[in-house]
Structure 1
């Protein structure tokens, strides 16, 4: 693999990762609500989902998803429903007496799984990798699938670093915000609105 091509891929990946989107907003929301460790756990889950999308793109599974309207819509609506479920859970947290000061803590493993599910259940991420990764591989070498896996690992590593950094700063802001009395429930309600908005956007988006 050409080094200049790899560096170009890394530069573009950083810009794409930092661009406002569902994943980074999800990390910010979890970090503000539950602290930087929760945000980092979520970031690790989202980054792990990249492995699934990269593998699918390398094996051609994503192409099958793209060509099957039924499969695409099943995955899309499953992801939207999952986000709406998370919105419902956030509303429940917001209405709890315990959340009038600080939102209830969630385990790192649960947040990690949530990050994976959110990433994997977004078929547009798979289509993005199918279109994006081949632009940075050297064709005709016979190891195109291996090159795509390497690019996927690079994308995953930079995602972990950037999302974890965002989680730390968002967590610091969240702790200051939640130190004020009765703010916790409003943070949860705001998080519920964000999750619901992302879920509805995914469900109503074209193809």
Structure 2
């Protein structure tokens, strides 16, 4: 099992990351706006499979690596904190982007939609950082097997990400229109997202204990 604090921590981090503009969200929203919510859901299924692939590969490898190289744990924590701060800056800077500033795309088949959702996620640096740098720092040594904790925390991240992205897909057109007609709301959305990411990044940077 995992601690309640770890479960809530990974939920907050996952929520902050899925609310920030990134390849997955931008692709899913753009596809939903241009081809409809059904196309967005097919793409989202590919994204889900990509998360499962990352979670499996990371947990099988990370559990063994941490046993051999304990200092790598610290390095991954620092990398994760820095990356969150980088994401926060990209959102709140004057020329930052919102995921609802979507691009037009030509219609694609269901197979291509699934494949593009999968590849977009597998090539997304946010996904790699989540499993290789962020999730491991919420693992509590000795509480339960490291690999089990990794899969449980990864499951929380997947449910959070897929749920929020699913809402984006279903409401993409309406939200994009709403924000486009209300620039102040667009700025507020970016501000909240950047603040959450920055706060979590600073917390992780300042709380950096040695692994046991």
More helix per residue: 1
Fold conserved between structures, TM > 0.5: yes
Deviation at 1:173, TM superposition (A): 6.6
**2:62·2:132 contact (CA, 8 Å) conserved in 1?**
no
Task: From the superposition, tell whether residues 35 and 173 of structure 1 become closer, same or farther in structure 2 (CA, over 3 Å).
Answer: farther
Q: Which runs of 5+ in 1 are unaligned?
A: 65-101, 176-207
Superposed, 1:186-201 pairs within 5 Å as none
**1:45·1:115 contact (CA, 8 Å) conserved in 2?**
yes
The root-mean-square deviation of aligned C-alpha atoms, in Å, is: 2.8
Task: From the superposition, tell whether residues 20 and 153 of structure 1 become closer, same or farther in structure 2 (CA, over 3 Å).
Answer: same
Q: TM-score, normalized by length of structure 1?
A: 0.58
Superposed, 1:100-111 pairs within 5 Å as 105-111=107-113
The structure 1 residue matched to 2:127, chosen from 122, 125, 128, is 125
Deviation at 1:103, TM superposition (A): 7.0
**2:46·2:115 contact (CA, 8 Å) conserved in 1?**
yes
SS at match of 2:21: coil
Cα distance in 1 between the residues matched to 2:4 and 2:117: 31
SS at match of 1:60: helix
1:115 match:
117
Task: From the superposition, tell whether residues 56 and 123 of structure 1 become closer, same or farther in structure 2 (CA, over 3 Å).
Answer: farther
1:82 match:
none
Deviation at 1:4, TM superposition (A): 2.5
Deviation at 1:133, TM superposition (A): 0.7
Q: Which runs of 5+ in 2 are unaligned?
A: 66-103, 178-212
How many positions carry a matched residue from both structures? 138
Task: From the superposition, tell whether residues 170 and 116 of structure 1 become closer, same or farther in structure 2 (CA, over 3 Å).
Answer: same
1:38 match:
39
* Of 138-147 and 121-130, the range deviating more from structure 2: 121-130
2:163 match:
161
Deviation at 1:42, TM superposition (A): 1.3
1:8 aligns to 2:44 (yes or no): no
Q: TM-score, normalized by length of structure 2?
A: 0.57
